[in-house]
Amino acid sequence: MSIRQGAKSLLPPIALDAIRWLGASRALRQYLRGGEVPWSPGYAIYKRQLITQALADETLLQRFRHGEPLPPGYGIGVDERCIEYPWLLAHLHDGPEVLLDAGSTLNYDFILDHSVFQRKVIDILTLAPEANCFWQKRISYLFHDLRDIPIRDAYYDTIACLSTLEHVGCDNTAYTHRGTHREQNPEDFVLAMQELRRVLKPRGTLLLTVPFGVYCHFGMFQQFDRKLLSRAVEAFGKASELTETFYRYTAEGWNVANAEDCAECEYVEWINRPRNQWPSPLPVEPDRAAGSRAVACVRMVKV
């Protein structure tokens, strides 16, 4: 145990909470004073606060639930997570069920602490262990591959697969630090879609998001275009319900759009590089984009 860890172990929880709050407040002030540059110090705190507020705003969730326009200026300078989390929450059943997080996008305390997750049995499937681990919240972890899910047929009521499908079959060594995950099999998202269908119960729901726009393979992931998204939907197979909702980022923030509006959207290229290869100082896009400039949100109900 380090000196720092030992000191922390001697402090009461209320003191630790105060230290964390002061650190977060300092980082947030730095971010705001620094011009609100995406991914600069304090950005993660700012994004977390925005998402937390969004998930608590029932009026906003209703907009996501019905595909209605978002408030002016929503999510300026913030990446697509500010769309994906409230969209997911707006479409989850508010009751007990068995849920698979296919890709570990929900593996954060401020997400899992939301009341909608308290009555659910949650499995998180990802390739390798992460720093966040919430076994004390009765979260189960599966370290495996979406192309070969180690679960019996028709097990899950709902599957959430947020910004994960685009990584299947690509170079995932940045996440696992294992050379075996340095792949160039971008067609394998089809296999993953078939597996997601297999483990989903009849009348179960798949909630899927992917970055959308101009097709590009970045090595670590690929941005989907209309052709790839259609292939993913076809790979899932027959659905009793299918809804596609598109959100586009501009200098005015995020808002609902259609596939045609998003077809020419480009991902911010440098963000795809490993963190130690990011430019310094961080560049600021003219529209202050922080990642994807469009995201496709697809809801499918298995027959």
Q: What is the CATH number of the domain that holds 169?
A: 3.40.50.150
Write down the pLDDT at residue 273.
84
DSSP E strand boundaries for 14-130: 97-102, 120-126
Q: With bands split at pLDDT 50, 70 and 90, how would you rate the model's confidence at 181?
A: very high
Residues 131 and 21 in one domain: no
Nearest to 89 by CA among 121, 57, 136: 57
Residues 111 and 253 in one domain: yes
Say what percent of the chain tops pLDDT 70. 92
Q: With bands split at pLDDT 50, 70 and 90, how would you rate the model's confidence at 3?
A: very low
Taking residues 167-190, what's their average pLDDT?
A: 95
Residues 12 and 131 in one domain: no
Residues 156 and 13 in one domain: no
Residues 68 and 28 in one domain: no
In a domain, residue 283? The reply is yes
Write down the pLDDT at residue 98.
98
Quote the radius of gyration of the chain (alpha carbons, Å).
Answer: 19
Write down the pLDDT at residue 22.
60
Residues 89 and 9 in one domain: no
Tell me the residue range of the domain where 6 lies.
1-33
Q: With bands split at pLDDT 50, 70 and 90, how would you rate the model's confidence at 45?
A: very high
Query: Side chain identity at 188, as an amino acid letter?
Result: D
Nearest to 163 by CA among 78, 76, 105: 105
Q: With bands split at pLDDT 50, 70 and 90, how would you rate the model's confidence at 27?
A: confident
3-class secondary-structure state, position 61: helix
DSSP E strand boundaries for 191-252: 200-211, 216-217, 222-223, 239-250
pLDDT at position 8 over 50: no
Residues 155 and 251 in one domain: yes
Number of domains the chain is built from: 2
In a domain, residue 43? The reply is no
Taking residues 156-176, what's their average pLDDT?
A: 96
Buried/exposed code over 150-184 (b: 16+ C-beta within 10 A; e: otherwise): eeeeebbbbbbbbbbbbbbbbebbeeeeeeebeee
Rounded to whole angstroms, the Cα distance separating 165 from 222 reads 9
pLDDT at position 177 over 80: yes
N-terminal to C-terminal alpha carbon distance within the chain: 53
In a domain, residue 187? The reply is yes
In a domain, residue 38? The reply is no
In a domain, residue 177? The reply is yes
pLDDT at position 170 over 60: yes
Residues 260 and 116 in one domain: yes
Taking residues 125-129, what's their average pLDDT?
A: 97
- Which residues touch 168 (CB under 8 Å, ≥6 apart)? 146, 147, 188, 189, 191, 192
Residues 240 and 285 in one domain: yes
Mean pLDDT of the chain, nearest integer: 93
Residues 265 and 195 in one domain: yes
